[in-house]
Structure 1
């Protein structure tokens, strides 16, 4: 295994310091603490809720924590307190249970350090979502006045970084979510990592980024973990940890107290329970004690870290004493590194360097054609840049911390006054933003190559252009960063690179006119918090619109929340602050889109936001995708007139001369390459700004959120006339008096479909009035506190236009004829999600399939999704596909539509299936023992053609997360084509003595469907159950069509065993039966493509059918190729089934068996190839996904 030189040095150091540690552990004498100043202590204990541990650990903590002081942390891992649950306040034993908790919490009451709890699950459960457990957590947080004591938050697995100081990093993990079957499956989860692979990848990134720090990883191990699961988990951890020598890993499993060592990693257990757990192979035990206690890791000024175990002095004395002490590691601290540089002199004054931003984007002509010409020459061209002298710039700077997202390396720097700046790499490293399996594939090369579409020196031009536009801005400077020892541990990542240096807009900027001389600059999250807390605070929306329209001109499409800071100012003569935006991180200005692949990728159904910088914005709505939440939060009050006035003023402010002056600030060699084109495109985009502003205003105006605060407001809605609706929001003081207007806008019926009023907290009042013929739909979402809602409005027509959402209790409602009452007993009815907006979608679909009967089938179509209020995952979905089978010249057209909550909580499903004009399929007769010998008869003899039309409309609803009920009418019409010398013609004559079978037949029906689906992943299930039931009643409507009924269903079960490799057993059983007279095409079938492999399509047909499919899917390995990563495995299967037909006495069962391979590219989809064998045939099968 290859390791950088720095890793070898670290490894050597750890081995050297560990050898004496191993020898001293064998002696009964405990070594003395080092002769160095103690700088920090991390105290860790586990499972202290255990009866035997509680009586010992609590007194020890009472002794240790006061002495540890503020330069310490204490971490409780797993089931730390007893009782684990609390009863309701009304229960008699509530006070008693609280007192038990208070007794255990006593050591933390006056603790000056940082306390953290990684909680275990109650009663061995995986999820901690039961109310009694939540009550216990809420009580602890309130009692200790620490709302963030439970970590990681939100039930996330982590890893959670806690930077103790510049030398120590604590990482917390909850491994419950890493165990088989316990992964987070909620696609809307806010956890930074949900799957085990993501957790490990993120942990790896953290450890690599902070390789120079002393690191503790503390992990909660579920107490119900199975021995083999634990062994598997520890083995995987060990393989991963050994890439990061010196790490200290602490968990709450196993022996009460234990220290072991392997591959330069220290493993510490604070299980605090009796009994031994066998050490993983290769670990050397240095200490073990079968008694409760705590572990303490002490960090010293000389860079040493020492481990101590502290236990009770003796069974009758709970005074803590050190039972074990040993040296773990020695790393130079930042103070030591800084001290070593004293006396060294560096002077880069007047030094310049001829350097290119990057040579990584030099490409062949073919690559340029495929991926774009882009700004490759600009990146590769050398320019003269001054040296970055950290000791001289801004009077001398020091590194505060490393920052940056996944793509950019950056340092936060501070001058002697505390003013902060940012130094970030011009070069990007986008592979870090990719999922780990994609980082060594073509995907990494593509995203890296597309950095060439961004202009390396664009930020240089924007300061003066922003001045002309009257927009706040940073003032970036470009430097060459030398190999400077003063950068310390960050030297390796920045030496000999080009860096962009600029102010960090934060806190007091009263001397910075380009930040508005604001005394308090804030981030977006803090502004949102201020707006919700107090309705006296307000955003200057015209300044936001101005800044956003400036983005249109320069083509900056990446304007999400974190790309903004906010200058705050006290209102003149009023309470509260007003906020104005400060854009930052202008890396995407002038981003272009060239080349075949990027051009395809910019289509509206893929990544339309990367349309590219040219003389026009192709689609202004999708161009602003990354700002979708920002704009719907901070641009809700402006009228079309406001937008046009702002656009025209901005257009007039940015003259041709200003544009030319700004772009000429590019280094001369760079200006010659792209300056003239950028100038031309900027002028064109500026001139088109009013048009683009109108288009974007109309897009935003369709649905508008008007959001209150946690204070009280009055929302007034006046339906003025058919064309206009006025919304005014006023503050209500604590005494109940109406104060200033905090929101006002006139909406136009022609522009706006919905207005959504959110009260949030406070005692809000909503009044709706006015009688009109046409009006806008108004949704009122009351909020958490007591609200009053009065609707006296009236809009002509059958549909209601005022929708009210609130809890039913403690609110006052006066509803009118226009009110649709959607109140509920559930608090979620009042939820406000500023990130709920989802774009409508229209995109193409394609398909290719193969089987022996139909040959190659080609398909094409479209998927359309539209969105609606609180309709997840969509309001309506339309899937339209047309297929053509080359071998049989068969056509098929299908439409699947799904409409969410079309009538209250009921959904509507529509299905069309048209097979015409000569749809080709097979029929071998009715019965379980119909004859077919492929050596004697051509398959074409059994084919027939037809025209078939099917439609159903089903109304239903979802029950919980996994169940669906649907009921509705259906229609079917089928017309068989009379084809001489085919089996179907002989069958018709033999059965009926005529050819009436070939007359058109029409049926009407009533169908019911029930579905239960708990599978973890529909395309590649490893666990869960799938049940589908589908009874139907059918009546003949024309000709000699007969009435009949059908009962059908199937059950699929999935179970996975992961040790030593992942083996998934899947079993499906299905059956169906017809009642009454039915035609052959309505028979229940066993089919070689769907339920009985090894046989032809539609091989057996009868009144009743039964089948069972069993599969064993074995995952062999993960793989990594240049094109994509994935996994690969093999499968074996056995199918059995039969049909029953009237007047047939058959005891025969048909079986098919076989095997195959499967591959899962990127672990997102499955492609499988199977070979099926039966007594009758041998069939190769290629399919997307598994059979079931």
Structure 2
């Protein structure tokens, strides 16, 4: 029979989350601390506020924003996390981790499957020099954690499932002063966390990761992508994920915010599909204070989750992911963008939105569900326009890398203001078409081809329209660069950058410049510098 008790927890416990009175309902024997005093029982529930310390005066909020302070201070019901029963056989904590903001505890079950506890409260001051962390700058940075919705990640899984995307499954839990935490007890006890699967390794039992037998990090995926063309990304699935990000207002989508589910494909190939993780910056609310409003216009990536997406600044919303977007979406055309936007819009129905909001704690639903229902519906209607703007931005200046294997790049003038680029994989058995795309001016103004490693071939057919600035960078290896027919004069804005490492040039009057390749133009390892992964 459940028991009920009240426990007073004083201000100043770890993470500052436990000020006030907690209502506890339980059905298991209480844990006891080192002193033998009764503590919160496992398999019980508590009512606790994630961050009452973010409450501020009206004057302070006028200058530095109201943000989500009310939600941070709102007591919500959460289940007490029990390491012994959370999964069959229990969990063992193995490693502390996390970024500059989030505190993580990695856990493993008896089968070696890993999970993670991610702190609901954040602390960005760790990115500051130690001398500044406790001063005014540190206090202000800590206070601005209130721009994050404390329970935003909680509603993403049902939305992602409806959208046909992969996702983690966070559950809101309260970690008490549990002896099973072992050496991590002091640092992690008495706080709210999101408990979820860690997307890595063999996930054949996890539907939300596509039942993939091998989930890898962005570092591993991108290392393979530039090492061999046998590895490819499902670009349409990635684009669907990116449009979903914009719908959520999630602007922090740098490379490390992703994992990649791998799947076998014909002829020994491997296809990667994106698994977004870490939704801390979805539903960001920043510009509702005088100073933060000004900062938001200067730092245009700090975009707030409003009823309307700022079409004039889709570039800012996606700045963190731009290197990935340029690499992974280079061969999708305007029709692809519009088809996927229309499909995504249709999948995110009113019913789907309402059902997703129902997974919030009851207290949060009462306070925020109506607002979010309204905003999500209106932002959904903008998806086609957002996709069109996103495509236009990416189409302006295009970069097309090869790999460290041998490829053949064919650049062909096919009509006024049009050029087609094809990329083939070269093997002793012949050439296999990997990618192709027709580019049109004025949508596209520049195209850069990067051979990276391997003995590549670049074939230039006809005279590309002078509206295009086309640049060829040979990279490593002994490459063949050939124009057919060789131009007698250079009408086009075509430049070949030759590193002078034994290339064969048959390009007539085409402009050739000798150059020393930059690190991120030279080979696969260097290309990873563009993705902050090497």
The bucket for the TM-score relative to the shorter chain is: 0.7 to 0.9
Q: 1:478 to 1:821 in 2, by over 3 A?
A: same
Deviation of 1:641 (Å): 0.6
Please give the secondary structure, in 1, of the residue aligned with 2:87: helix
Name the counterpart of 2:315: 621
Kept in 1: contact 2:116–2:197 (CA 8 A)? yes
Kept in 1: contact 2:442–2:467 (CA 8 A)? no
Name the counterpart of 2:475: 783
Q: Note if 1:478 corresponds to 2:172.
A: yes
Q: Note if 1:607 corresponds to 2:299.
A: yes
Match of 1:492 among 186, 192, 196: 186
State the distance in 1 between where 2:530 and 2:232 align. Answer: 22
Match of 1:354 among 32, 47, 53: 47
Deviation of 1:798 (Å): 7.3
State the distance in 1 between where 2:504 and 2:359 align. Answer: 63
Query: 1:1077-1115: per-residue Cα shift (whole Å, max 9, x none)?
Result: xxxxxxxxxxxxxxxxxxxxxxxxxxxxxxxxxxxxxxx
Q: 1:485 to 1:837 in 2, by over 3 A?
A: closer
Q: Note if 1:554 corresponds to 2:209.
A: no
Q: 1:441 to 1:813 in 2, by over 3 A?
A: same
State the distance in 1 between where 2:103 and 2:503 align. Answer: 52
Match of 1:390 among 72, 83, 96: 83
Q: 1:687 to 1:784 in 2, by over 3 A?
A: same
Name the counterpart of 1:729: 423
State the distance in 1 between where 2:380 and 2:336 align. Answer: 17
Q: 1:438 to 1:625 in 2, by over 3 A?
A: farther
State the distance in 2 between where 1:815 and 1:615 align. Answer: 54
Kept in 1: contact 2:62–2:290 (CA 8 A)? yes
State the distance in 1 between where 2:282 and 2:520 align. Answer: 41
Name the counterpart of 2:450: 758
Match of 2:268 among 549, 558, 575: 575
Q: Note if 1:815 corresponds to 2:493.
A: no
State the distance in 2 between where 1:587 and 1:827 align. Answer: 35
Name the counterpart of 2:109: 415
Name the counterpart of 1:370: 63
Please give the secondary structure, in 2, of the residue aligned with 1:742: strand
State the distance in 1 between where 2:247 and 2:300 align. Answer: 17
Match of 1:710 among 392, 396, 404: 404
Match of 2:279 among 586, 590, 600: 586
Please give the secondary structure, in 2, of the residue aligned with 1:705: strand
Name the counterpart of 1:463: 157
Kept in 1: contact 2:456–2:480 (CA 8 A)? yes
Deviation of 1:827 (Å): 8.1
Q: 1:767 to 1:797 in 2, by over 3 A?
A: closer
Q: 1:533 to 1:825 in 2, by over 3 A?
A: closer
Deviation of 1:398 (Å): 0.4
State the distance in 2 between where 1:651 and 1:613 align. Answer: 18
State the distance in 1 between where 2:260 and 2:530 align. Answer: 23
State the distance in 1 between where 2:262 and 2:236 align. Answer: 15
Name the counterpart of 2:25: none
Q: 1:774 to 1:799 in 2, by over 3 A?
A: closer
State the distance in 2 between where 1:780 and 1:452 align. Answer: 47
Name the counterpart of 1:519: 213
Q: 1:433 to 1:800 in 2, by over 3 A?
A: same
Matches within 5 A, 1:628-667: 628-667=322-361
Deviation of 1:779 (Å): 1.1
Kept in 1: contact 2:50–2:74 (CA 8 A)? yes
Q: 1:370 to 1:829 in 2, by over 3 A?
A: closer
State the distance in 1 between where 2:224 and 2:335 align. Answer: 28
Q: 1:579 to 1:346 in 2, by over 3 A?
A: farther
Deviation of 1:348 (Å): 4.1
TM-score, normalisation: structure 1: 0.40
State the distance in 1 between where 2:529 and 2:383 align. Answer: 27
Q: Which runs of 5+ in 1 are unaligned?
A: 1-339, 839-1188
Deviation of 1:704 (Å): 1.2
Query: 1:503-529: per-residue Cα shift (whole Å, max 9, x none)?
Result: 001110111111011000000010111
Match of 2:289 among 558, 576, 595: 595
Kept in 1: contact 2:115–2:196 (CA 8 A)? yes
Aligned pairs, number? 490
Q: 1:429 to 1:809 in 2, by over 3 A?
A: closer
Deviation of 1:828 (Å): 6.1
Deviation of 1:740 (Å): 2.2
Please give the secondary structure, in 2, of the residue aligned with 1:822: strand
Kept in 2: contact 1:722–1:775 (CA 8 A)? no
- Select the structure that is richer in helix: 2
Q: Note if 1:505 corresponds to 2:196.
A: no
Q: Note if 1:434 corresponds to 2:128.
A: yes
Please give the secondary structure, in 2, of the residue aligned with 1:771: coil
Relative contact order (C-alpha < 8 Å, sep 6+): which is higher?
A: 2
Query: 1:981-1002: per-residue Cα shift (whole Å, max 9, x none)?
Result: xxxxxxxxxxxxxxxxxxxxxx
Deviation of 1:793 (Å): 6.9
Kept in 2: contact 1:731–1:740 (CA 8 A)? yes
Deviation of 1:800 (Å): 4.3
TM-score, normalisation: structure 2: 0.87
Deviation of 1:633 (Å): 2.1
Name the counterpart of 1:686: 380
Q: 1:379 to 1:830 in 2, by over 3 A?
A: closer
Q: Which runs of 5+ in 2 are unaligned?
A: 1-32
State the distance in 1 between where 2:346 and 2:245 align. Answer: 16
Q: Note if 1:749 corresponds to 2:446.
A: no
Q: 1:722 to 1:420 in 2, by over 3 A?
A: same
Deviation of 1:834 (Å): 5.6
Deviation of 1:809 (Å): 3.6
State the distance in 1 between where 2:197 and 2:516 align. Answer: 50
Deviation of 1:829 (Å): 9.6
Deviation of 1:746 (Å): 1.1
Matches within 5 A, 1:527-538: 527-538=221-232
Kept in 2: contact 1:422–1:503 (CA 8 A)? yes
Kept in 2: contact 1:482–1:497 (CA 8 A)? yes
Kept in 1: contact 2:261–2:273 (CA 8 A)? yes
Please give the secondary structure, in 1, of the residue aligned with 2:54: coil
Kept in 1: contact 2:487–2:508 (CA 8 A)? no
Instruction: Pick the structure with greater CA Rg.
Output: 1
Deviation of 1:824 (Å): 3.9
Q: 1:643 to 1:793 in 2, by over 3 A?
A: farther
State the distance in 1 between where 2:388 and 2:277 align. Answer: 25
Matches within 5 A, 1:323-338: none
Please give the secondary structure, in 1, of the residue aligned with 2:481: strand
Deviation of 1:360 (Å): 1.4
- Select the structure that is richer in strand: 1
Deviation of 1:750 (Å): 1.1
Q: 1:741 to 1:421 in 2, by over 3 A?
A: same
Name the counterpart of 2:30: none
Kept in 1: contact 2:466–2:492 (CA 8 A)? no
Q: 1:513 to 1:825 in 2, by over 3 A?
A: closer
Kept in 2: contact 1:643–1:693 (CA 8 A)? yes
Q: Note if 1:448 corresponds to 2:142.
A: yes
Deviation of 1:796 (Å): 12
State the distance in 2 between where 1:452 and 1:781 align. Answer: 46
Deviation of 1:775 (Å): 3.9
Q: 1:826 to 1:403 in 2, by over 3 A?
A: closer
Q: Note if 1:803 corresponds to 2:495.
A: yes
State the distance in 2 between where 1:827 and 1:589 align. Answer: 35
Q: Note if 1:399 corresponds to 2:93.
A: yes
Please give the secondary structure, in 2, of the residue aligned with 1:574: helix
Kept in 1: contact 2:486–2:506 (CA 8 A)? no
State the distance in 2 between where 1:563 and 1:827 align. Answer: 27
